[in-house]
Amino acid sequence: MRGGPERIGQYAGWMVSVVHLVRHGEVDNPDQVVYADLAGFGLSEGGRRQATWAGTHLAAHPIGAVYASPLARARETAQVIALPHRLEPLVLPEVTEWALMSRWAGLPWADLDIHFPGELGAYLNDPVGLDFAPESVTELALRVGRAVDHLADRHSGQEVVVVSHQDPIQAARLQLTKQHLGRLHQDKPRHCEVISLSRSAGWRQASRVAPSC
């Protein structure tokens, strides 16, 4: 479903809460390394344009709060989105990057098989069965999904924004809408794509919009 702002109010006796999940903008990463939670990886020029697009898209929504992963690329994106609403983004550690990425941090994606033979293939082919991951995809989905649930409770009947990362957003989206985590790599969120989830009696995906820039 695509369209304008989600209408907030009563639905089947429940207050509707809306959480807009936004992947951060493109990162300045000329060497194509796994940046994971490393310092020094901010938005590229294109990423700043994408963040501006997301901010413009969400400017018409009655946003009550903006939350972000503690990592710089997410905080930069959240700052742009929060500006039209005169809000200061709040850091939410629970929506930080998947701990699996820290295992590979600093290595070029192209060299992962040299240092960790077979792991990239396993990640791409069977994300649910990664026995080498310091955090399983199930644990990731529960971590981020619970954080989104808590925000919906805290901001009942309101709209909030959460700026996070590709796999955490995808895992939480699948978990909250009761889809199998084996679909992790199917139709993953693009940079600054806005995935709007609404919760009344349960969670559903209300809309999904991505920048063209």
For the chain, what percent of residues have pLDDT higher than 90? 91
pLDDT digits (tens, 9 = 90+) for 5-19: 434 333 334 467 999
Per-residue pLDDT for 70 more than 70? yes
pLDDT at 15: 62
pLDDT (mean) for 59-68: 97
pLDDT (tens digit, 9 = 90+) per residue, 79-138? 999 999 999 999 999 999 999 999 999 999 999 999 999 999 999 999 999 999 999 999
At 16 the pLDDT is 74
List, in order, residues 6 or more apart from 153 with CB less than 8 Å away.
17
Mean predicted lDDT score pLDDT of the chain: 93
The predicted structure's pLDDT at residue 213: 62
Q: How many C-beta neighbours within 10 Å does residue 88 have?
A: 11
What does pTM read for this prediction? 0.92
| CA–CA distance, 190 with 24 (Å, rounded to integer) | 9
The CA–CA distances, whole Å, from 2 to 45, 164, 177 equal: 27, 21, 17
Model confidence pLDDT, tens digit, residues 18-45: 999 999 999 999 999 999 999 999 999 9
